[in-house]
Each structure stands twice: as structure tokens, then as C-alpha cells.
């Protein structure tokens, strides 16, 4: 009833539409993968149930990765991604020496649905604002703060300006600052989430580089799980 069951299939469908090359089978494969997201989600939910943490977008990540990896074993499935590259290229920095904060902010929101669009980002932010002003504000602050931290670390401005760095922070801020309640103050949890997401996102991108796979929402998932586990309320035990 809350629409959560459809979120993972929607993300899977959008991702595979983008990452799979156009062929006679790409639409069929995307439809099948989208359908398979539902039982995968049910399984992930049951595995996590004893720990009282949500599955988030893990089903989307699992199904999307394995569907993309099909292209390494079959002829009629292909992807524009360079899977298992022979030579791993180091990060190339352009001459772009500044962050376009407004563009990066809105494209970070639109990249939640794997598409860079300022107008799309504005629409998504408006939707979040209608649902909760607090969630929208935290998402904006988390995104801007992440840009500053990455800039101080000497990060790749190209990724920031294309919105590729913001979407995990948007999801994390909404999850930790608004949606899920733990023993940790939501503002502290969101701030810690920003710091953790910077580390996890940069590290995950490097870790997946040899496989040629995109990080998708994995940094958001890892950081949210960490802080939800850290904030679980335990009953006091008498000494």
C-alpha cells in the first residue's frame, strides 16, 4: 500500500533499459528481470527480518548486476559497460575546476532513477517536499555537504557535476534522517551517514572497477544498514 514493493522493480527496469544494448531480446530480458526482482525482494526481506532492518534497494542491485553480467556468457545479451576490462584505467580529471552546485544538486536527485536531468531532479525534489519538508531539507543539506567534502579530498568534479555522487546521499539522508527511527538522533545519524557514504561510495567505486560494474545504490544500502544496526534499541540488562 505504501508503494515500496514497486520501487525495486521500477529501478531495475530503468537501469536495464539504460545499461543493456538494444537488441531483439533486451525488452524481454528487462521484463523478466523486473519480474524476478519480486521473489528476490521477498527472499532478502526474510533474511533480514530477524535483524529488524529493511531490505532497501538491495534486490534492485542484485538483479541488475547479475542481468548485466549475462552479457559475458551469452551472445544475444550485450551491454555498453566494459565488463572485466583488461586494463583498468585510472580516474581521469578534466580541467573542470569548480562544482556546479545547482546543477549537481538537482541531477543528484534525478540520478535516484539513473537519469541525469535538472528538470527531473526538480520534480523529484518537489515530490519529496510535498511528502516531507524535513526529508527534503536533509537530502539537500546532505548532498551539498558531500560535494564540499569530496572537493576538499580532491575528488573528481566531473562525477559530482553529472549528479553521480549525489543520489546515494539523497537516499541515505531520507532513510536515516526521516524514515527510520533509531536510538541515534536523526540529525547526528544523517551527519555520520554523510561521512560514511563519502568513504563507502569512493571505496565501492574502486572495488568494482575491475568488474566494470556500477555501484548503483550499494553505498546507500551499506551505510544505512550500518547506522540502523548501530542505532538498534536494546533492552537494559541488570548487572
Cα distances from 121 to residues 97, 124, 165, 182, 238, in angstroms, run 23, 5, 14, 29, 51
Topology of domain 4-82+97-230 in CATH is Ammonium transporter fold (1.10.3430)
H or E element: which one contains 217?
A: none
Apex CA 211: angle with CA 198 and CA 94, to 5°? 55
Phi/psi region, residue 207 (left: phi>0; alpha: psi -120 to 50; beta: rest), is: alpha
Residue 17, Cβ neighbours under 10 Å: how many?
15
The x, y and z cell numbers of residue 224, run together, are 544505512
pLDDT of residue 88: 66
pLDDT at 234: 55
Q: What is the pLDDT of residue 169?
A: 94
> What does the pLDDT read at residue 62?
97
Per-block average pLDDT, block size 10, for the chain (239 residues)? 77 94 86 96 95 94 95 85 74 67 89 88 94 95 91 81 84 95 94 96 92 94 96 58
Longest Cα–Cα distance of the chain, Å, equals 67
The pLDDT value given to residue 183? 92
What's the distance, CA 195 to chain centroid? Answer: 15
The backbone region for 153, taken as left when phi is positive above 0, alpha when psi lies in -120 to 50, beta otherwise, is alpha
Distances (CA, A) of 130 to 126, 162, 213, 223: 6, 25, 34, 26
Q: What is the pLDDT of residue 238?
A: 44
Contacts of 160 (CB under 8 A, 6+ apart): 99, 104, 147, 150, 151, 166
Cβ proximity of 142 and 193 under 8 Å? yes
pTM of the entire predicted model: 0.90
* Cα-to-chain-centroid distance, residue 149: 18
Amino acid at each position: 500500500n505504501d508503494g515500496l514493493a514497486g520501487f525495486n522493480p521500477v529501478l531495475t527496469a530503468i537501469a536495464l533499459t539504460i545499461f543493456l544494448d538494444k537488441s531483439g531480446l533486451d525488452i524481454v530480458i528487462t521484463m523478466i528481470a523486473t519480474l524476478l526482482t519480486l521473489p528476490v525482494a521477498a527472499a532478502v526481506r526474510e533474511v533480514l527480518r530477524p535483524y529488524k532492518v529493511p531490505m532497501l534497494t538491495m534486490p534492485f542491485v542484485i538483479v541488475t548486476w547479475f542481468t548485466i553480467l549475462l552479457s559475458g556468457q551469452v551472445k544475444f545479451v550485450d551491454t555498453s559497460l566494459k565488463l572485466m576490462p583488461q586494463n583498468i584505467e585510472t580516474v581521469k580529471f578534466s580541467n573542470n575546476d569548480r562544482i556546479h552546485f545547482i546543477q549537481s544538486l538537482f541531477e543528484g536527485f534525478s540520478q535516484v532513477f539513473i537519469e541525469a536531468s535538472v528538470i527531473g531532479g526538480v520534480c523529484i525534489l518537489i515530490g519529496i517536499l510535498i511528502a516531507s519538508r524535513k526529508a527534503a531539507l536533509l537530502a539537500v543539506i546532505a548532498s551539498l555537504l558531500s560535494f564540499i567534502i569530496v572537493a576538499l579530498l580532491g575528488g573528481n568534479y566531473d562525477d559530482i557535476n553529472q549528479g553521480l555522487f549525489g543520489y546515494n546521499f539523497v537516499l541515505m539522508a531520507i532513510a536515516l534522517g526521516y524514515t527510520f527511527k533509531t536510538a541515534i538522533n536523526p540529525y547526528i545519524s544523517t551527519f555520520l551517514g554523510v561521512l560514511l557514504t563519502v568513504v563507502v561510495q569512493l571505496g565501492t567505486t574502486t572495488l568494482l572497477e575491475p568488474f566494470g560494474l556500477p555501484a548503483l545504490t550499494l553505498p546507500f544500502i551499506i551505510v544505512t544498514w550500518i547506522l540502523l544496526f548501530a542505532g538498534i534499541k536494546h533492552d537494559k540488562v541488570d548487572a
